[in-house]
Structure 1
Amino acid sequence: MIVKNEADVLARCLKSVSMLVDEIIIVDTGSNDETKEIAKQFTDQIYDFTWVDDFSKARNFAFAKATKDYQMWLDADDIFKAADQQAFLSMKAEWDDHIDMAMLKYDVGFDEQDHPTFSYYRERIMKRSMHYQWVDPIHEVIPQRGEIRYFPIAVSHKKLHPSDPDRNLRIFQKMLSNGILLNSRQTFYYARELYYHKQYEAAIPLLTSVLNGTDTWLENRIDAALVLASCYQACNNSSKAKQTLLTTFCYSTPRSEICCELGHLFFHEKDYQNAIYWYEAARTQKPKVEDGGFHQIDTYDYIPCLQLCVCYDRLHNPDKAIYYNELAGTIKPNDRRYLYNKEYFKKKDR
Structure 2
Amino acid sequence: MATISLCMIVKNESAVLARCLDSIADLMDEIIIVDTGSTDNTKEIAAQYTSRIYDFKWTSDFSAARNFSFSKATMEYIYTADADEILDDANRERFLRLKDALLPEIEIVQMKYVTQGTFDTVLNAKKEYRPKLFRRLRTFTWIDPIHETVRLTPVTFDSDVEILHCPQSLHSKRDFSIFIKAFEHDGQFSPKIRTMYAKELLKTGDKKDFTDAKPIFQLIFDNDPADDARKEAACVLARIYRMEDNKNEFFKLTMKDMLTTPCAEICYELGTYFVGQRDYAEAVLWFYNAAYETESILDVHTSGDLPLLGLVECYETLLAGEEAKIPSDTALTIQYEMMLDKYREASRDWRMPEET
- TM-score when scaled to structure 2? 0.65
Superposition pairs of residues 1-350 of structure 1, within 5 angstroms: 1-18=8-25, 21-80=28-87, 95=102, 98-106=105-113, 110-111=117-118, 122-130=130-138, 146-148=154-156, 155-161=163-169, 165=173, 169=177, 172-173=180-181, 176=184, 180-185=185-190, 198=208, 203-214=213-224, 218=228, 222-241=231-250, 243-244=252-253, 255-284=263-292, 295-296=299-300, 298-316=301-319, 317-331=336-350
Q: Distance in 2 between matches of 1:21 and 1:284?
A: 47
Larger Rg: 2
Gaps of 5+ in 1: 132-143, 333-350
Structure 1 residues 202 and 50: alpha-carbon distance in aligned structure 2, compared to 1, 3 A threshold: closer
Cα distance in 2 for partners of 1:164, 1:331 equals 25
Question: 1:157: how far off?
Answer: 4.0
How big is the shift at 1:229?
1.9
- CA displacement at 1:7 relative to structure 2: 0.9
1:80 and 1:17 mapped to 2: Cα distance? Answer: 7
Contact 1:101 1:147 in 2 (8 A): yes
Q: Distance in 2 between matches of 1:151 and 1:285?
A: 35
Distance in 2, Cα, partners of 1:7 & 1:70 = 26
- Tell me the alpha carbon deviations over residues 120-149 of structure 1, each in whole angstroms, 9 at most, x when there is no partner: 654433332249xxxxxxxxxxxx963456
Residues 277 and 167 of structure 1: is their aligned pair in 2 closer, same or farther, counting only changes over 3 Å? closer
- Deviation for aligned residue 1:156: 4.4
CA distances 1:189-219 after superposition (whole Å, capped 9, x unpaired): 88988x757275663332022234547694x
Aligned residues: 306
Asked whether the 8 Å contact 1:188–1:207 carries over to 2, the reply is no
TM-score (norm 1): 0.66
Paired with 1:30 and 1:225, the residues of 2 have a C-alpha distance of 37
Unaligned runs of 5+ in 2: 1-7, 140-151, 320-335, 352-356
Q: Distance in 1 between matches of 2:135 and 2:255?
A: 40
The alpha-carbon deviation at position 162 of structure 1 amounts to 5.8
Deviation at 1:85, TM superposition (A): 5.1
Do the aligned residues in 1 keep the contact of 2:34 with 2:53 (CA within 8 Å)?
yes
Separation of aligned partners in 2, 1:159 and 1:51: 21
State the alpha-carbon separation in 2 of the partners of residues 87 and 273 from structure 1.
53
